[in-house]
Protein backbone atom coordinates (compact mmCIF):
# COMPACT_ATOMS: atom_id res chain seq x y z
CA UNK A 1 0.00 0.00 0.00
CA UNK A 2 1.29 3.42 -0.91
CA UNK A 3 1.26 6.45 1.34
CA UNK A 4 -1.12 9.20 0.28
CA UNK A 5 1.86 11.28 -0.92
CA UNK A 6 3.14 8.41 -3.09
CA UNK A 7 -0.37 7.79 -4.40
CA UNK A 8 -0.64 11.44 -5.47
CA UNK A 9 2.81 11.27 -7.09
CA UNK A 10 1.92 8.15 -9.09
CA UNK A 11 -1.37 9.71 -10.18
CA UNK A 12 0.49 12.78 -11.45
CA UNK A 13 3.15 10.66 -13.19
CA UNK A 14 0.45 8.45 -14.73
CA UNK A 15 -1.51 11.43 -16.08
CA UNK A 16 1.61 13.01 -17.58
CA UNK A 17 2.80 9.76 -19.21
CA UNK A 18 -0.67 8.99 -20.56
CA UNK A 19 -1.04 12.50 -21.97
CA UNK A 20 2.37 12.33 -23.63
CA UNK A 21 1.77 8.90 -25.18
CA UNK A 22 -1.99 8.89 -25.84
CA UNK A 23 -1.57 9.38 -29.60
CA UNK A 24 0.45 6.17 -30.04
CA UNK A 25 -1.78 3.47 -31.54
CA UNK A 26 -1.87 0.22 -29.57
CA UNK A 27 -0.34 1.49 -26.33
CA UNK A 28 -2.01 0.18 -23.19
CA UNK A 29 -1.78 1.58 -19.67
CA UNK A 30 -2.48 -0.73 -16.74
CA UNK A 31 -2.70 0.62 -13.22
CA UNK A 32 -1.67 -2.14 -10.82
CA UNK A 33 -1.88 -0.57 -7.38
CA UNK A 34 1.54 0.93 -6.72
CA UNK A 35 2.72 0.24 -10.29
CA UNK A 36 1.86 1.71 -13.69
CA UNK A 37 2.50 -0.71 -16.56
CA UNK A 38 2.91 0.74 -20.04
CA UNK A 39 2.40 -2.13 -22.50
CA UNK A 40 3.74 -1.68 -26.02
CA UNK A 41 3.25 -5.18 -27.47
CA UNK A 42 0.77 -3.83 -30.03
CA UNK A 43 2.74 -0.69 -30.86
CA UNK A 44 4.77 -0.16 -34.02
CA UNK A 45 8.49 -0.47 -33.31
CA UNK A 46 9.06 3.06 -34.56
CA UNK A 47 7.60 4.33 -31.24
CA UNK A 48 9.73 2.19 -28.88
CA UNK A 49 12.39 4.80 -28.19
CA UNK A 50 9.82 7.56 -27.76
CA UNK A 51 7.94 5.55 -25.12
CA UNK A 52 11.10 4.86 -23.15
CA UNK A 53 12.26 8.49 -23.41
CA UNK A 54 8.90 9.89 -22.27
CA UNK A 55 8.90 7.65 -19.20
CA UNK A 56 12.56 8.41 -18.38
CA UNK A 57 11.94 12.15 -18.72
CA UNK A 58 8.84 12.01 -16.53
CA UNK A 59 10.63 10.00 -13.82
CA UNK A 60 13.81 12.08 -13.81
CA UNK A 61 12.62 14.51 -11.09
CA UNK A 62 11.34 11.54 -9.06
CA UNK A 63 14.31 9.17 -9.45
CA UNK A 64 14.89 8.94 -5.71
CA UNK A 65 11.27 7.78 -5.21
CA UNK A 66 10.26 6.06 -8.49
CA UNK A 67 12.03 3.78 -10.93
CA UNK A 68 11.45 2.32 -14.36
CA UNK A 69 11.71 -1.43 -14.92
CA UNK A 70 11.46 -3.37 -18.15
CA UNK A 71 9.54 -6.53 -18.77
CA UNK A 72 8.21 -8.48 -21.71
CA UNK A 73 7.05 -5.66 -24.04
CA UNK A 74 6.22 -3.50 -21.02
CA UNK A 75 7.77 -0.67 -19.05
CA UNK A 76 6.78 -0.45 -15.41
CA UNK A 77 6.86 2.60 -13.18
CA UNK A 78 7.40 1.36 -9.64
CA UNK A 79 8.23 2.75 -6.24
CA UNK A 80 12.01 2.88 -5.83
CA UNK A 81 12.15 0.26 -3.09
CA UNK A 82 14.09 -2.96 -2.72
CA UNK A 83 11.29 -5.42 -3.39
CA UNK A 84 10.69 -7.95 -6.15
CA UNK A 85 8.75 -11.14 -6.93
CA UNK A 86 11.37 -13.30 -5.24
CA UNK A 87 10.94 -11.46 -1.96
CA UNK A 88 7.17 -11.73 -2.33
CA UNK A 89 7.45 -15.51 -2.80
CA UNK A 90 9.74 -15.75 0.25
CA UNK A 91 7.22 -13.83 2.37
CA UNK A 92 4.31 -15.97 1.17
CA UNK A 93 6.22 -19.17 1.96
CA UNK A 94 6.92 -17.95 5.49
CA UNK A 95 3.18 -17.87 6.20
CA UNK A 96 2.65 -21.57 5.41
CA UNK A 97 3.97 -24.62 7.23
CA UNK A 98 6.71 -26.33 5.21
CA UNK A 99 5.49 -29.88 5.66
CA UNK A 100 3.81 -31.19 2.54
CA UNK A 101 4.08 -27.89 0.70
CA UNK A 102 5.27 -27.96 -2.90
CA UNK A 103 5.32 -24.42 -4.26
CA UNK A 104 5.00 -24.11 -8.02
CA UNK A 105 5.82 -20.84 -9.75
CA UNK A 106 5.23 -20.22 -13.44
CA UNK A 107 6.47 -17.09 -15.18
CA UNK A 108 7.22 -15.76 -18.65
CA UNK A 109 9.28 -12.67 -17.97
CA UNK A 110 12.64 -11.55 -16.67
CA UNK A 111 10.80 -10.09 -13.66
CA UNK A 112 10.12 -13.69 -12.57
CA UNK A 113 13.80 -14.65 -12.31
CA UNK A 114 14.12 -13.60 -8.65
CA UNK A 115 11.22 -15.88 -7.74
CA UNK A 116 12.81 -18.76 -9.66
CA UNK A 117 16.03 -18.27 -7.64
CA UNK A 118 14.16 -18.25 -4.31
CA UNK A 119 12.47 -21.57 -5.15
CA UNK A 120 15.71 -23.40 -6.08
CA UNK A 121 15.63 -26.65 -4.12
CA UNK A 122 12.34 -25.70 -2.42
CA UNK A 123 9.76 -25.98 -5.19
CA UNK A 124 9.14 -26.14 -8.90
CA UNK A 125 9.85 -23.16 -11.11
CA UNK A 126 8.73 -23.09 -14.72
CA UNK A 127 9.60 -20.56 -17.42
CA UNK A 128 7.00 -20.25 -20.17
CA UNK A 129 8.54 -19.40 -23.51
CA UNK A 130 11.33 -20.50 -25.83
CA UNK A 131 13.70 -22.98 -24.22
CA UNK A 132 16.74 -21.11 -25.50
CA UNK A 133 16.08 -18.22 -23.09
CA UNK A 134 18.58 -18.19 -20.22
CA UNK A 135 16.55 -18.66 -17.06
CA UNK A 136 16.95 -19.72 -13.44
CA UNK A 137 13.78 -21.81 -13.78
CA UNK A 138 13.99 -25.55 -13.23
CA UNK A 139 11.75 -26.36 -16.19
CA UNK A 140 10.50 -24.84 -19.43
CA UNK A 141 7.10 -24.94 -21.10
CA UNK A 142 6.78 -23.46 -24.56
CA UNK A 143 3.19 -22.26 -24.71
CA UNK A 144 -0.04 -21.61 -22.83
CA UNK A 145 -1.27 -24.98 -24.17
CA UNK A 146 1.63 -26.72 -22.43
CA UNK A 147 0.85 -24.77 -19.24
CA UNK A 148 -2.76 -25.99 -19.37
CA UNK A 149 -1.56 -29.56 -19.85
CA UNK A 150 0.91 -29.24 -16.95
CA UNK A 151 -1.71 -27.81 -14.61
CA UNK A 152 -4.20 -30.45 -15.69
CA UNK A 153 -1.67 -33.17 -14.80
CA UNK A 154 -1.04 -31.51 -11.42
CA UNK A 155 -4.77 -31.52 -10.73
CA UNK A 156 -5.04 -35.20 -11.70
CA UNK A 157 -2.21 -36.12 -9.32
CA UNK A 158 -3.82 -34.13 -6.51
CA UNK A 159 -7.25 -35.65 -7.08
CA UNK A 160 -5.98 -39.22 -6.80
CA UNK A 161 -3.86 -38.31 -3.79
CA UNK A 162 -0.70 -39.33 -5.56
CA UNK A 163 2.72 -37.85 -5.48
CA UNK A 164 4.59 -35.94 -8.13
CA UNK A 165 7.65 -38.11 -7.75
CA UNK A 166 7.86 -41.84 -7.13
pLDDT in 10s for each residue of the chain, 166 residues: 668 888 999 999 999 999 999 999 999 999 988 899 999 999 999 999 999 999 999 999 999 999 999 888 999 999 998 888 898 899 888 887 666 778 999 999 888 999 999 999 889 999 999 777 789 999 999 999 999 999 999 888 878 775 555 4
Domains in the chain, please, with CATH? 4-79 (3.30.70.1020), 96-159 (no CATH)
Mind spelling out the 3-state secondary structure of 35-64? EEEEECCCCCHHHHHHHHHHHHHHHHHHCC
Task: Please give the model's pTM, rounded to 2 decimal places.
Answer: 0.66
119: left (phi over 0), alpha (psi -120 to 50) or beta: alpha
Amino acid sequence: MLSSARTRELKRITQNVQNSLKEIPGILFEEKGPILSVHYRNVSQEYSDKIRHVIEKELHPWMDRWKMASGKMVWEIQPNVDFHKGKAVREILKTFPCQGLLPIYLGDDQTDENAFRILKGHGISVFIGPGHFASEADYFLQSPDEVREFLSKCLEVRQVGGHFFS
